[in-house]
Structure 1
Amino acid sequence: MVVPTYNEAANLAWIIDRVRTAQPHVDVLVVDDGSPDGTGAIADGIARADAQVHVLHRTSKGGLGAAYLAGFAWALDAGYDVIGEMDADGSHQPEQLQRLLTALRDADLVIGSRWIPGGSVVNWPWQRELLSRGGNLYVRMLLGIQVRDATAGFRLFRRSTLERIRLEEVRSTGYVFQTDLVTRTLRAGLTVREVPIEFVERVRGESKMSGQVALESLKRITWWGLRQRWTSVRGPAAATRELHRSTR
């Protein structure tokens, strides 16, 4: 599991212990973006004590997508066949990871979803739930995909999926990265499955999500959708070219 961190000193040991307890065979890669609160040093200490925990240090805060791309590259180079994502703040519960592992038997990407039957959120104000549901509806309508929770960050990819979707062409660095990768997976003709999870709002530390981040994601998705519609008007040849350029 790739776990990106920035100022998660209060949560990191706790969440890694939960992963290792729930799924003892799963390795963890912490990708720390130079956290000033000492998260990187905590990760190093855990890794020294546990050979299944690894740490990748980045020198600055480059965005969620950039951290995941670095983590994916490390995991692919290390030879892993299944590579996952999860947050460090406890919002994604390691005890539910088995649901994703089971679903991956007949899928190329599995998403732990809040917005399918059986999924839920805990301790969210109604405004935030409305924003997330509305944002995902906007994604479905504009990009023409059927995934109910395209913005979710609890995921498992097959190695072959990450190799197929041309990660070297991904330019998304923020939270829109999640929508980018699920769209690329579907356009590559691969299978995406959603399984219900209970998402729990963090109780320690500060959220990295902000209005500015949400607005930037909205702008990027709008641009992708409009470009896709324009391409479809131009005809099949243009659509084929766009398939290889899409979501850059």
Structure 2
Amino acid sequence: MKKLLIIPTYNEIANISKLVGKIQSLNIPDLDILFIDDNSPDGTGEVLKTFQEEMPNLKLIEREGKLGLGTAYILGFKYGLEHGYDQIAQMDADFSHNPKDLIPLFELANEHDWVVGSRYVTGINVVNWPLRRLILSKGANVYTHLVTGLPIKDGTAGFKCWNRRVLATIDLDAVKSHGYSFQIEMNFRAWKAGFHCHEHSIVFIDRTVGQSKMSKHIVYEAVWMVWRLVFMNLLGKIKPLPNKKDDNS
């Protein structure tokens, strides 16, 4: 079973070498790692190129500039579908997601449509966040559930593993969120397409090296985007793609 791990990067020079080493040391069968780098000024992309010389399973797509988290994942999802991967995972590059948790995520994806590495399914499993950030994150998930009905306790999580049948059914070109609200939109579209999510408890550790990408714009986008999803759904504009033959499904 072919597996792809998508990791967007922007100025992750302090983390990237260690991250690559940790993931490769897991020896996950049939795993390719796709980095999507937004022309990092700190040279993240150049470091990844040197790894490619000795690691044939490491793939790199370089973009011209900082184009956003959502567009990076959409590009990665399309790459995964076009190249015949059966399971497509996503994670952050800053070690807030423990690479070791990739193993249960891939295993659970054999039984479920998609799997979320969840901070809140068994309580609150977050380390090193200030209280304000924790309240913002937890509140965003409660707000999302109340507005959309999305039955996921951690709808904003970015650590996931998708089965290709889910991504092949979502109209990826219609996904418009660019920041962290992208996670909510993808979950919502998958749920409305009739798929079921499994939440696997993880411990989220806030980055200790590098700079956070969180901004007020990202928060505002998420506030309004959930209402946009609800209205689009009411108008019948969120629909799964027509069923088509997929030899990899």
On the 8 A contact 2:87/2:109 being kept in 1, the answer is no
Q: Secondary structure at the match of 1:194?
A: strand
TM-score norm. by structure 1 comes to 0.90
Shift of 1:210: 1.4
Shift of 1:24: 3.5
**1:171 maps to which residue?**
176
State how far apart, in whole Å, the 2-side matches of 1:185 and 1:24 are.
26
Shift of 1:118: 6.1
State how far apart, in whole Å, the 1-side matches of 2:181 and 2:155 are.
9
Count matched residues.
235
Distance 1:243 1:67, change over 3 A: closer
On the 8 A contact 2:87/2:106 being kept in 1, the answer is no
Deviations along 1:121-145, one digit per CA (max 9) or x if unpaired, are 1111111111101000000010011
- Asked if 1:244 is matched to 2:249, the reply is no
Distance 1:228 1:74, change over 3 A: closer
- The amino acid that maps onto 1:12 is I
**1:15 maps to which residue?**
19
State how far apart, in whole Å, the 1-side matches of 2:123 and 2:146 are.
23
Q: Secondary structure at the match of 2:53?
A: helix
State how far apart, in whole Å, the 2-side matches of 1:23 and 1:162 are.
25
On the 8 A contact 2:87/2:162 being kept in 1, the answer is yes
Deviations along 1:17-44, one digit per CA (max 9) or x if unpaired, are 1111124422210000111110110111
Q: Following superposition of structure 1 onto structure 2, how do residues 55-204 of structure 1 map, counting pairs within 5 Å?
A: 55-117=60-122, 120-204=125-209
Deviations along 1:154-191, one digit per CA (max 9) or x if unpaired, are 00001111001121221222211100000011100011
Q: Which runs of 5+ in 1 are unaligned?
A: 232-237
Q: Secondary structure at the match of 1:106?
A: coil
Q: Which runs of 5+ in 2 are unaligned?
A: 241-249
Shift of 1:222: 2.9
Shift of 1:242: 3.3
Q: Secondary structure at the match of 1:244?
A: coil
On the 8 A contact 2:10/2:40 being kept in 1, the answer is yes
State how far apart, in whole Å, the 2-side matches of 1:223 and 1:108 are.
25
State how far apart, in whole Å, the 1-side matches of 2:112 and 2:79 are.
23
On the 8 A contact 2:193/2:239 being kept in 1, the answer is no
State how far apart, in whole Å, the 1-side matches of 2:132 and 2:186 are.
26
State how far apart, in whole Å, the 2-side matches of 1:14 and 1:214 are.
30
- The amino acid that maps onto 1:137 is V
**1:3 maps to which residue?**
7
State how far apart, in whole Å, the 2-side matches of 1:243 and 1:221 are.
13
Deviations along 1:77-125, one digit per CA (max 9) or x if unpaired, are 2211111100000000011112212221221110000011166111111
On the 8 A contact 1:22/1:95 being kept in 2, the answer is yes
Shift of 1:228: 5.6
Runs ≥4 residues deviating over 4 A: none
- The amino acid that maps onto 2:63 is R
- Asked if 1:33 is matched to 2:38, the reply is yes
TM-score norm. by structure 2 comes to 0.90
- The amino acid that maps onto 2:52 is A
- The amino acid that maps onto 2:79 is W
